[in-house]
Structure 1
Amino acid sequence: MENSNLYCCDAPCSAGKTRAIVEQAKHAAADDNQKILIVQPTKELIEKTIEEEVGKPGFPVERFHSDATTKVVANLTQHFRDTHSHGEIVFTTHAAMLRLGHVPMAGRWTVYVDEVPSDYVKIEELRLPELDTRATFFRHFEMRDGLLLPGDGADAHPEKLAKNEKRDAVWKVYQGVASRVVSDHWRVHCEINEEGTLRTTSVLLPSLFKGFGKTVMASANFHEKILVKSWERKEGVTFIPDNSLALRFSSHENCERLTIRYVFDRDGWSKAFRDSCVKVEDENVNVGKFALAAVKQHVGDNPILVMRNKDRAKDFKNWENAIILPGSPHGLNSYTDVDHFAAFSAINPDPAHLKFLNDILGVATEEVHNDMYREVIYQGLFRSNLRIPDSKEPVECLVMDRGTADWLATKLPGCRVEPMDAPVEFADEALGVALAARLKKKRGPQPTGAARSAAERKAAQRARQKAAKQ
């Protein structure tokens, strides 16, 4: 595809990407009467950005998300249609952007996409067990060469079903898939089994940004993103580097203060391994609970940022020093006074999804794991004190597997990678017994007296923020 308007900025975590985007956008809107669309992952991040970075400029600033307006996509499209001649900045979410259809006068707009969208593949299963239901559905849509396409018969009305203006309860179930089938910006792959279950996998296409004057996608580890690799390999996209954003730095420095420790001497971490058990001294020991106990003991009374799966929330309930981060921690800057971070999350696609990414999008399994799992841990780590580039505080990162520790080290030159106490591999039962005995007997680090209360940590953080603004 012709993509001369697609630019990229590979911006490391804490390099000031969002601030740089806003500053460039403000100058363009104020000085050159340009129209700017800034697309961010969540409505919460939009509100935070407007409050902390945009302020009250002398031009309009609009936001389109579910807390600010009803019918977000329709109203955003209408805003494009009714646009005036003077400069402005408009904010919207990734979710709204990915649902856009035709954008009136798109060429007048410069788009900044803050973080590469993660919702680039949508998987839905539609149950069509009854023959009459299946016949009704395929009157409007057809399967051809593994794709779900709009039907072209005289009684086919796929667009009406996608809009579902009458809010029909039955068609509401199929509306999401239908809207992507009729969109120019999604390709819908499909297969149906004997029971009548239609599995659809929709893939975002780069045509979404084709009509805009210029689109800049900014993200850490940009060229490791699955979406980027797929567009480059399968859609013929060549991203043009954009070095105009005023980042604080282009690569991580001062990483000598970081120690990355791993619990298991293996490559990868999964729910299956986490939930497995091993026989130790005639007792079944759960791998995940063993890892949690080992990390808690290692950290002692120090505050720690933690990432974990929701299905194991109760295991962390009584860990008083743990601050639980959300699954997508982008934009959280309020924990930079915390020096310890642990990642227990297991994030992997199911086998069918992985096969699709391999075969259809052309992304290797290791590349999938790097983006879906290790990139999330990288983002979580940078919610800690490591986010402060010139800090002298030592930072500790605890991960479950050595493969992830080694991957992080390639991004953070100068850091140390070492096992936590001794690398655990339950395949070696003797080692498992020895480590279990060590865990029971060892008390963990003695309190140094340097641990601060929550109020003290908050006061220190406010002082740093105040100093940074001066």
Structure 2
Amino acid sequence: MNNFRGEGRVVAICHATLCNLSPELDLGDWYCYIDETLDVFHPAELNLHDSHQLLTEHLKTISDGSPYSRLVSVNDTALTAIIENRDRDAYREIVAGTAEKIISPHYDCFTLQDKYRHLIERKGEKQKLYCLSVLHPRVVSAFGGVTVLSARFEESLHYHLWEREGVVWTQDAALSVRLRFTQHSGYEKTKIYWGLDRNFSKSFRDANADWYDEFIRAALDVVGTEGHVRLENNDIKNSSLLSKSLNGETIPGRAHGLNKYRNIDHAIIISAMNYSPVAGRFLSARYKFGSHKQAVSFACHNIYQAISRTSMRDGDMGRERLWVVPSRIHAEWLSQIFQGSSCISLALNQPSAGNLGRPELFNSPNDRKNHSKVISRNKARQISDFVDRIGVDMMENVTFFNSSDDDVSSLYNIDHFVANYRSSWFKIKYKRDAQVISMKEHKYISWLKKESTKSYAKKDDVPLVSPAFYNPLWVGKGKRGKKNVVFASGVMLDFDDTELGPDELAKIFTELQMVAYSTFSNSSTNLRYRAYLPTTCPMLIPEYNVITHAIIQAIESAGYRGKQKGAAKPNGSDSESESDRFTLGGNLKRHGIDMGKIGPYSIFHLPCRSPSGHSFFNHYSGPGRAPLDVNQWLSSLPPIEEPEAPSTPTNYSYVDEAHTLTDHQKNGVEYAMAEWFGTGTLPGKGNDAMWDLYERLRDLRLPIDLMWEQMSFAARSSNTPRDRLKQVDYLMNDLMQYRFMLPANRVA
């Protein structure tokens, strides 16, 4: 370009070449015309948790006191080698674009200071390198002048960012008067349809696949058999329902300058175009370019460019045009531009707002960490009582749903199992052998949410879970029965044909973390969902039951009723009193809790998409909400009443007088043995009853020899003494092996 000085040459280059011009060029005699806005913002999020040092060892950060620090090179030679990548190294290919912008004189690169420090120090899991690159106006500062040719330029990110960097924009009046038109008028025959009443994103699309398919069908109904252009995101553009339309032509995501579609009137432009949360917050914080402006400059402008490829460019106002866009904000923005056009809703059911991306729940990272520590401490204190209910032999026979959780060969992993047990998984309703789901609470909830996106042909195809952990050593019938329940974790309740919505349920229990998800049979006329409430520790059956009833009582105290007992009569003659009327449920809303499934041994279908198209998955968490504190709830409720021991023969002694036992232990042994003689001596009952006896005596923390003696005594009185004595030896050897593994301060 230096050689063409004063010769009146025109050089056409692309945007990428402009950004790579050498700063050493003498461009003072050249005038730069830019057709369409430049991509002035390039956010990169690279998952380099284990390999970042290959790049970061050549970088440093410069802080200005804000959360965002400048990211600069300390070794241009090394970064240049990464960019050139002469050996075609796969890692270098991934980071080359980021390295190129860091050493470029035309870009200012920023990173989140805290995230960068965590990456360098290897704090947390799956840390990323965030590089937010902004193309600076100095890229064109060497030119004698610059003009940008773009529609609605003042709304663009290019205009706003460079203005914030000191550029003073002035409209070129001489060029403006030569434009064919400066506004779009006369579009009375144009109809703009939209599907969603809030922002549209890929995460929303993926979480609401049924809704998205319904949206596509409605869009295709609008255009009918007419030809149309279509645009979706690259990840689905060749596989979606829209791509199967025979009358549509797919246009590229960057449609600027294409003129081959000017014979087509209609358009379905429904790609999701949003910055990532990190990038969006950066633009808001540093450049005061908020979410609404981002939606207009990124999504709306790209939709405008795509529609501009159609017959709209020719100015023939006599033709009917039908356009479909994702959201109301897009349709209303277009309708303001194309004067006279109509903005029309497709009248689709709107998914629950709970399916939106998770908002910021805490004021600061420290608040979030402190909240997590409190929950962890509460759980640690409360799980220890359940560890000794799990023997080594029992653990060796557990089948895990996730193979990564099957290392249970040490005491540490038994602790881990009790702390992280979530539910028993069954492939089908009639399956008896469970697979155990053991994972951290937040991962379990994430897994449930992922399950909610799956579709099934019929309800019986949906897998099931139970809060109960069933003893895998159980022999005979009742493997999934309540007698085989070791403990349960979390509370699950079904709400069928309910008038108590999930948001209202969350308002009743403002201090509890909970999940509410629609079931297979949910519909617009019959609200059916399941609530899952995490707990701080496992529970025995009586504890689970008393807590569940306390939850139901709190719901009914908030103005909801169970099954309708009868309509209340009007007050007056022969009518119930006000209190009786509410007891009968006359003026109360129906909570719809399935009272046949309130035990921990109940099984519940996993979340999935409802065939009706009305699906949701809501997670209520954050400051002030925590898992249900089992010990705290139990201490605030009436004591759990144990059934009275039946009368038993008195011609034998169950308690060895050589041992010093507490009154509680003595009474417990009497009760346990009485229960045995009531059922264990009957034909066909010995196996189950011996398990019950074993658990009752074990929970009393009796000395091994006394417990063995009592169980052997019971075995000899059974209908099959040889089998029962073998069962006793098996159980007691397992218990003894486990107790000897415990530290001294943990021995029962």
User: How high is the TM-score relative to the length of structure 2?
Assistant: 0.42
Counterpart for residue 223 of structure 2? 299
- Aligned to 1:99, which of 13, 20, 35? 20
In the alignment, residue 276 of structure 1 is paired with which amino acid? A
- Give the Cα separation in 1 of the matches to 2:85 and 2:226: 56
The answer to which structure has the higher strand fraction is 1
| Residue 263 (structure 1) aligned with residue 184 (structure 2) | no
Structure 1 residue 133 displacement after superposition? 4.2
- In structure 2, do the counterparts of structure 1 residues 268 and 177 end up closer, same or farther at CA, with 3 Å as the change threshold? closer
When residues 289 and 172 of structure 1 are mapped into structure 2, their CA distance, relative to the original with a 3 A threshold, is closer
User: Displacement of 1:374 after TM fit?
Assistant: 1.2
Corresponding residue of 2:688: none
Tell me if the contact between 2:85 and 2:92 (Cα under 8 Å) persists in the aligned partners.
Answer: no
What are the equivalent positions in structure 2 for 1:174-185 lying under 5 Å apart? 174-185=95-106
Q: Separation in 1 of the partners of 2:205 and 2:45?
A: 27
Name the counterpart of 1:228. Answer: 159
The reply to whether residue 286 of structure 1 matches residue 210 of structure 2 is: yes
Deviation of 1:128 after TM superposition, in Å, equals: 7.2
State how 1:67-466 maps to structure 2 within 5 Å. 80-118=1-39, 120-123=41-44, 125=46, 127=48, 129=50, 133=54, 137-138=56-57, 140-145=58-63, 146-151=69-74, 157-159=75-77, 161-162=79-80, 167=86, 169=89, 174-191=95-112, 192=116, 193=119, 194-195=121-122, 197-232=128-163, 234-245=164-175, 246-264=178-196, 266-277=197-208, 286-313=210-237, 314-315=239-240, 316-420=242-346, 422-427=347-352, 430=524
Q: Secondary structure at the match of 1:240?
A: coil
Q: 1:158 to 1:324 in 2, by over 3 A?
A: same
Alpha-carbon offset, residue 179 of structure 1: 3.4
Distance (Å, rounded) in 1 between the aligned partners of 2:336 and 2:250: 26
Deviation string for 1:70-108 (max 9, x for gaps)? xxxxxxxxxx23334311111111112122231522111
CA-to-partner distance for each residue in 1:285-329, whole Å, 9 max, x for gaps? 711111111112232211111111122221133210011111111
SS, match of residue 110 in structure 2: strand
For 1:286 and 1:204, the matched residues in 2 are separated by 40
Q: Could you tell me how far apart the structure 1 residues matched to 2:236 and 2:335 are?
A: 27
SS of equivalent residue, structure 1 residue 260: strand
Q: Which structure is higher in RCO with an 8 Å CA cutoff and minimum separation 6?
A: 1
TM-fit CA distance, 1:424: 3.8
**How many percent identity over aligned positions?**
25
Amino acid at match of 2:184: H
> Does the 8 Å contact 1:426/1:432 carry over to 2?
no
The residue identity in structure 1 corresponding to 2:59 is: F
Which secondary structure state, in structure 2, belongs to the residue aligned with residue 181 of structure 1?
Answer: helix
Matches of 2:31 and 2:189, distance apart in 1: 39
How far does residue 121 in structure 1 lie from its aligned partner after superposition? 2.0
**1:214–1:197 CA distance, 2 compared to 1 (3 A):** same
Asked if the contact 1:275–1:286 (Cα under 8 Å) also holds between the matched residues in 2, the reply is no
Deviations 1:337-369 (A, max 9, x none): 212111221111221111111112221101001
1:189 Cα deviation from its structure 2 partner? 0.8
**What is the CA-CA distance between 1:376 and the residue it aligns to?**
1.0
Shift of 1:123: 1.7
- Structure 1 residues 166, 180: CA separation in 2 closer, same or farther (over 3 Å shift)? closer
Letter in 2 for 1:334: K
Q: Secondary structure at the match of 1:374?
A: helix
Pair 1:393–1:197, CA change in 2 (3 A): closer
In structure 2, do the counterparts of structure 1 residues 333 and 363 end up closer, same or farther at CA, with 3 Å as the change threshold?
same
Query: Residue by residue, what CA displacement relative to the aligned partner does 1:125-163 show, whole Å, maximum 9, x if unpaired?
Result: 3737469747xx53x432221112233xxxxx4156336
| Equivalent residue number for residue 13 of structure 1 | none
Partner of 1:32: none
Q: Is the 8 A contact 2:43 2:130 kept in 1?
A: no
What secondary structure is seen at the aligned counterpart in 2 of 1:342? strand
Residue 167 of structure 1 deviates from its aligned partner by: 3.2
- CA–CA distance in 2 between the matches of 1:402 and 1:130? 43
The answer (yes or no) to whether the contact 2:225–2:247 under 8 Å persists in 1 is yes
Question: Which amino acid letter does the alignment assign opposite residue 72 of structure 2?
Answer: L
Q: 1:103 to 1:432 in 2, by over 3 A?
A: farther
Are the structure 2 counterparts of residues 159 and 255 from structure 1 closer, same or farther at C-alpha, using a change threshold of 3 Å? farther
Matched letter for residue 358 of structure 1: S
The alignment partner of 1:255 has SS state of: coil
Change (3 A) 1:117 1:173: same
- Give, as a single letter, the amino acid of the residue that structure 1 aligns with 2:165: E
When Rg is computed on C-alpha atoms for both structures, the one with the higher figure is 2
The 1:86–1:350 alpha-carbon spacing in structure 2 relative to 1, beyond 3 Å, is same
CA RMSD of aligned residues (A): 3.0
Cα–Cα, structure 1 residues 124 and 424, in superposed 2: closer, same or farther, change >3 Å?
closer
CA contact (8 A) 2:52 2:129 kept: no
Task: For 1:235, give the aligned amino acid.
Answer: E
Structure 1 residue runs of 5 or longer lacking an equivalent are 1-79, 152-156, 278-284, 438-470
In structure 2, list runs of 5 or more residues that go unmatched: 64-68, 354-522, 528-610, 613-748
TM-score by length of 1: 0.66
The answer (yes or no) to whether the contact 1:116–1:222 under 8 Å persists in 2 is: yes
Aligned equivalents of 1:204 and 1:366: distance in 2? Answer: 22
Residues 380-403 of structure 1: CA distance to partner in whole angstroms, max 9, x if unpaired?
A: 111122111134211111122222
Q: Which amino acid aligns with 1:236?
A: G
User: Quick check: 2:85–2:93 contact (8 Å CA) kept in 1?
Assistant: no
Amino acid at match of 1:211: A
In structure 2, what is the Cα distance between the partners aligned to 1:251 and 1:103? 41
The aligned amino acid for 1:290 is E
Distance change (3 Å), C-alpha of 1:90 and 1:103 = farther
Verify the 8 A CA contact 2:223 2:322 in the aligned structure 1. no
Distance 2:331 2:52 in 1: 52
CA distance in 2, matches of 1:269, 1:128: 30
1:225 deviates by: 0.8
Give the aligned length.
Answer: 339
